[in-house]
Chains A and B, each alone.
Chain A
Amino acid sequence: MVKYFSGFNILKNSWDQVSAAFWQRYPNPYSKHVLSEDILYREVTPDHKLLTRRLLTKTNRLPRWAERIFPANVAHAVYVVEDSIIDPFSKTMTTYTWNINHASIMSVEERCVYCENSENSNWTEIKREAWVSSKVFGLTRAIQEFGLARFKSNVTKAMKGFEFILGKMQGDVPHRTLVETAKEATEKAKETALAAKEKAKDLASKAATTKKQQYV
């Protein structure tokens, strides 16, 4: 009883850039659910492949019905192991990611293969597969549905985060900062306008007073 997901994404950056960004993508504005990241193991094999194991801690957001059923699990973060193999010659990066606690309630396993896009070698394609399962009697389906929905929303965040970091690494002004700058400018303009309005009112009332005085 495993729910299966498969997906495909493209990043408009070279494989070299994407694989370098892979190690630098946290934190980013879309990774607030990622609390910590560590490298547990790293090795370059004799045939020049890089093997890495990372440990990630993530928040454990649950729907309210699940919080009521599993109160003991609410407070605890989810520990996630991410193993990867990077082959710079074939330009392939394979990652395998899964949670190592709360696994009897819900287990999410994800396998991604990053390689050069077949139509444009300056782009990178990501083939993603995931398996969501639960062993909770009677609730398996509900938990799997929730798990899959949360997984999909995290994929969207992961892609946005990737794009943000890739932009930053190439010296682009990040999109978010532009939005923020625009917001700030609008606020400032509003303030200036308000101040000008007040001043005009003040001047007008003063002028009116002078006028009145002239006619007295």
Chain B
Amino acid sequence: MNSVGEECTDMKREYDQCFNRWFAEKFLKGECSGDPCTELFRRYRDCVQKAIKDKDIPVDGVDFMGPSKSKTESDGSS
């Protein structure tokens, strides 16, 4: 699948391939031998971060599993 930054798509494919193999063959089997794709990920992530900045995509400051916390509140009030 394409990256939001066209120039990152090739790096992403390379990383995805590495990750998918690691995920199925190691991670799901509970092997903790470390992630062999870290370097590929770093290179790809640097590219994406630049693209996100250039495109002004508002990803900064969003909590992990973010709105789920506020969700419980709005559930109570609705």
Contact = CB atoms under 8 A, between A and B. Distances in A.
Residue of A19, A51, A83, A111 ringed by the most chain B CB atoms within 10 A: A83
A53 B58 CA distance: 14
A52 to B, nearest CB: 10
A81 B59 contact: yes
Contacts of A1: 78
Interface stretch (A61-69, A95-103, A181-189): A95-103
Contacts of B2: 35-37
Which 7 interchain pairs have the tightest Cβ spacing? A26-B1, A36-B4, A37-B1, A96-B65, A20-B24, A83-B65, A36-B2
The main secondary structure of chain B at its interface with chain A is: helix
Interface in A99-121: 100-101, 109, 111
B27 to A, nearest CB: 6
Interface size class of A (residues with CB under 8 A): 35 or more
Given A38-B48, A100-B59, A53 B28 contact: no
Contact of B66 (A27, A79, A96): A96
Interface of A: 1-2, 16, 19-20, 23-24, 26-27, 34-42, 44, 48, 50-51, 53, 55, 57, 79, 81, 83, 85, 88-89, 94, 96, 98, 100-101, 109, 111, 131, 133
Contact of A51 (B23, B64, B68, B74): B64
6 contacts: A2-B74, A20-B28, A23-B19, A26-B1, A37-B1, A100-B59
